[in-house]
Structure formats: structure tokens, C-alpha cells
């Protein structure tokens, strides 16, 4: 029973990180219609940047996070301005062109990081004590609890911003109908740029949160991006609530599957599950038939 509960907590922690990454992917897909391959690389940069700032140069983890959030925001803005927006006026196939430009940039950044940082993984000390909390006879990993709590707070804050703030309402209108939003006086290009910026910050936060668990290396975020993509596919591309459901399902499978089967089979189980669901429901759990399996975002 204890092993099962440990797997449950670990799965929820992984689900939390997958949710943050899936939210960053979803925000960009929903607002611009573009799948940004660079987003997974931003998570990797969050891992590597945390190691450099917190471990190599001795910065406080929160100070490192503040700098990484600024860098992630800047990367998001630059990605939109230099890699995505030029495709709008120069190509008939904006989505395909943006896929290629962001994939090329991601490949280049990973290669440069491998050359300068090295390919081996480097450990980052947890931000909290490694000594677990004891709940009755059940030990609670403090790092897992931190990841879950931070993600929950971010998800609630994101929901409130989208529902109650002026920027959130402008974003929701843009998600529903970009042309109508433009006619109403909303600067759609600015909304898209802000969405890329927010996604970049979320990517860096994801890397900062998970790096004590997975270590820092140029390849450290590849598996995270894969599972986040699987969560999006399960939930329905373009749906935030779908991303949350998919992240929980994928995270629990990865956390609890080793209790019952060989851990090396976890990825195969996730792939089979996603494939089976998409055969039955191609749009995903919360998706609606249309571009990327959802009509914009349409629900928060």
C-alpha cells in the first residue's frame, strides 16, 4: 500500500510538470494555431540555467527563477517576432513554415548547449529538505509536494487571469474569433506576442521545478516534452481543461505503472493508450473536431 501511495504522489508531481508544459504548448496553439517545437527546448534551458545559476554560481534558487522567467519571456517574444510572425506574410502555409523554423531553432539551441555545457547530466540539489514529511506511516517527498503546490497555484492564477482580467478577456475574445477581435479594436498581434511570452515563462518554470528530479542536460527535457505532448493529445489540442486531464492521466500512469510492471514499459503503455483513444475519439477527451482537434480554446 505504501508503494502504491508513493507512486501516486510521484505520478501527481510528474502530472503537475506535464500540465505546465502542456499549458504552454496549448496557449500558443490556441492563440496562433502554431505548434512551437522550441517550447520543449525552453524547458531544457530552464534545467540547464538552474544548474548554472544555483549550483555553479551559488545563486539563491528564487533569484535564479526570477532571472529564468525573464529569459523565458524574452525567448517567447523573440520566437514569435523572428520565427513565427514573418511566416504570416511570406508563406501561404504559415503553420508548416512555423513548424520548420521553430524546429530548426530548437535543434540549433540543443546542439549549441551540448557543445558548451556538455552532454552528461548534472545534479541540482532540491530546493527543500530531502528528509520526507511523515503523514502517519506514509512518507511524503517534499520536492514532489512543492511541485504539486506550485503547479496548483499557477493553474488557479492562470484561470483567474483568463476569466477576470482585461488581458484575459482580450485573449479569450482573440481565441474565439481573431478577426472579430481585431474589428473590436483588440491588437491581435500583441495578444499573440504576450501568449508566446507567457508560454516561455511557463517553460522556464517547468524546467526549474523538475530539474532536481531529472538532472540538467541538453537532453533532459525531451521525455518531458514527449509526455506533455501525449497529455495534449489525450485531452484535445487547444483545450486547457483537456491538457489538465491528459496530464493527470499520463502522470499517474508513469508514476504508478512501475508498481505493477517493468518501468521500461511505461512509455509503451502511454503510447498505446494515446493511440487507442485517438482511434476512438480523434479530437481527444475535450477536443472538438477542427484545427488541431479543437476550436481555438473555447473553454478554460
User: pLDDT tens-digit profile of 47-97?
Assistant: 999 999 999 999 999 999 999 999 999 999 999 998 888 876 554 566 677
pLDDT band, very low/low/confident/very high, at 300 (cuts 50, 70, 90): very low
The pTM of the full predicted model, rounded to 2 decimals, is 0.84
Task: Tell me the average pLDDT across 268-280.
Answer: 82
d(CA 97, CA 149): 38
pLDDT at position 35: 80
Cell numbers describing residue 290: 477542427
Residue 296 lies in a domain: no
pLDDT at position 66: 96
Residue 272 lies in a domain: no
Q: Which one of 13-22, 73-82, 284-293 scores highest in mean pLDDT?
A: 73-82
pLDDT at position 298: 39
d(CA 69, CA 53): 13
Residue 213 lies in a domain: yes
Q: Report DSSP state, residue 156.
A: H
Residue 257 lies in a domain: no
d(CA 280, CA 231): 16
**Percentage of the chain exceeding pLDDT 70:** 84
The more confident residue out of 287 and 17 is: 17
User: Could you tell me the maximum CA-CA distance found in the chain, to the nearest angstrom?
Assistant: 63
d(CA 134, CA 137): 6
Residue 225 lies in a domain: no
- Residue 210's domain comprises 2-118+125-220
Residue 270 lies in a domain: no
Angle between helical axes of 2-32 and 222-235 (0-180°, round to 10): 80
pLDDT at position 137: 66
Residue 227 lies in a domain: no
Residue 62 lies in a domain: yes
d(CA 193, CA 186): 13
Task: Tell me the average pLDDT across 97-105.
Answer: 85
Domain total in the chain: 1
Cell numbers describing residue 181: 477581435
Whose CA is closest to 199, among 37, 60, 63, 86?
A: 37
Task: Tell me the average pLDDT across 241-252.
Answer: 83
Cell numbers describing residue 151: 503547479
pLDDT at position 297: 41
pLDDT at position 178: 65
Amino acid at each position: 500500500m505504501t508503494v502504491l501511495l508513493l507512486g501516486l504522489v510521484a505520478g501527481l508531481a510528474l502530472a503537475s510538470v506535464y500540465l505546465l508544459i502542456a499549458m504552454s504548448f496549448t496557449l500558443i496553439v490556441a492563440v496562433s494555431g502554431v505548434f512551437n517545437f522550441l517550447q520543449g527546448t525552453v524547458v531544457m534551458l530552464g534545467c540547464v540555467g538552474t544548474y548554472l545559476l544555483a549550483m555553479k554560481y551559488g545563486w539563491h534558487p528564487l533569484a535564479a527563477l526570477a532571472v529564468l522567467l525573464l529569459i523565458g519571456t524574452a525567448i517567447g517574444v523573440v520566437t514569435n517576432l523572428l520565427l513565427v510572425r514573418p511566416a504570416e506574410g511570406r508563406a501561404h502555409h504559415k503553420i508548416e513554415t512555423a513548424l520548420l523554423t521553430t524546429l530548426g531553432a530548437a535543434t540549433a539551441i540543443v546542439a549549441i548547449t551540448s557543445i558548451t555545457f556538455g552532454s552528461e547530466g548534472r545534479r541540482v540539489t532540491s530546493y527543500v529538505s530531502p528528509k520526507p514529511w511523515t503523514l502517519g506511516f506514509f512518507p511524503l517527498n517534499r520536492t514532489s509536494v512543492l511541485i504539486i503546490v506550485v503547479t496548483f497555484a499557477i493553474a488557479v492564477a492562470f484561470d483567474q487571469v483568463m476569466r477576470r482580467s482585461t488581458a484575459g478577456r482580450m485573449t479569450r475574445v482573440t481565441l474565439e474569433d481573431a478577426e472579430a477581435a481585431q474589428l473590436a479594436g483588440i491588437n491581435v498581434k500583441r495578444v499573440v506576442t504576450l501568449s508566446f511570452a507567457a508560454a516561455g515563462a511557463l517553460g522556464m518554470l517547468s524546467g526549474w521545478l523538475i530539474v532536481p528530479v531529472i538532472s540538467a542536460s541538453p537532453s533532459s527535457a525531451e521525455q518531458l516534452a514527449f509526455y506533455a505532448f501525449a497529455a495534449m493529445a489525450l485531452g484535445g489540442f487547444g483545450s486547457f481543461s483537456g491538457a489538465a486531464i491528459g496530464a493527470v492521466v499520463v502522470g499517474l500512469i508513469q508514476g504508478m505503472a512501475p508498481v505493477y510492471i517493468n518501468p521500461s514499459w511505461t512509455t509503451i503503455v502511454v503510447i498505446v493508450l494515446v493511440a487507442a483513444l485517438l482511434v476512438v475519439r480523434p479530437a481527444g477527451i475535450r477536443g472538438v473536431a477542427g484545427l488541431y482537434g479543437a476550436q481555438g480554446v473555447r473553454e478554460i
